[in-house]
Structure 1
């Protein structure tokens, strides 16, 4: 029997309603930076230990991780290309995403420390 809400089931599988924490996004972006955005199995293995408490077993599915990373890419300005000594690119979009999330996570941790 067809779903009365076409496409709704797929959307829920791709993007659960619960937002990702900064920590989870930073782990995802760092893992993609190391493994690439085509090796989701490796990315998932690397980030599973960092899931927030209470996450369902399938939280880090390939589709969900790819969808979340796509959102990170959409919300990040593409860096102006900087060249190193030999012409290689020094800063990539992945680098920018990781750096932004790293700074955000540091601020969260500083706030938690102040609150204690």
Structure 2
């Protein structure tokens, strides 16, 4: 299957934060992580870069639109909550972290069901 798990996406985002756009190193780290669910060959440089781009692009576009709207309205108030002031990569990491927590809760719940 071609879809990435929440964990794999979160790991990817963390590696991009740590290693910037060194896709060779990112790919290598993804491949050797013990908790990945895909074969190592899945995590090519190209696949990692494409997945990151697909995750971050909508948030970058959203941030651009927000900035344009602020410029047009002249509203540069500091009253925005932390969520709106976060850089797109930080928003993405937060979203994926929350998704991973939901994924883990679901796994725990299904495991509990087996023992009832």
Name the TM-score, length of structure 2 as normaliser: 0.66
Point out where structure 1 has 5 or more consecutive residues left out of the alignment. Answer: 1-16, 84-89
CA RMSD of aligned residues (A): 2.4
Deviation of the 1:69 alpha carbon: 0.5
Deviation of the 1:57 alpha carbon: 3.7
3-state DSSP class of the match of 2:96? helix
| Cα deviation code 1:8-37 (max 9, x no counterpart) | xxxxxxxxx62111111110011101111x
Are the aligned partners of 1:33 and 1:95 in contact in 2 as well (CA < 8 Å)? no
Question: Which of 28, 49, 58 is the matching residue for 1:75?
Answer: 58
Distance in 1 separating the partners of 2:14 and 2:63: 17
Question: Which of 10, 25, 46 is the matching residue for 1:26?
Answer: 10
3-state DSSP class of the match of 1:18? coil
Which of these two proteins has the greater Rg computed from alpha carbons? 2
Question: Which of 102, 105, 110 is the matching residue for 2:105?
Answer: 110
Task: Provide the residue aligned with 1:91 in structure 2.
Answer: 86
Higher relative CO (CA 8 A, sep ≥ 6), structure 1 or 2? 2
Distance in 2 separating the partners of 1:27 and 1:91: 19
Distance in 2 separating the partners of 1:57 and 1:66: 15
Task: List aligned pairs for 1:30-45, cutoff 5 A.
Answer: 30-36=14-20, 38-45=21-28
Relative to its length, the structure with more helix (as a share) is 2
Pair 1:62 & 2:57 matched:
no
Distance in 2 separating the partners of 1:27 and 1:59: 14
Name the TM-score, length of structure 1 as normaliser: 0.66
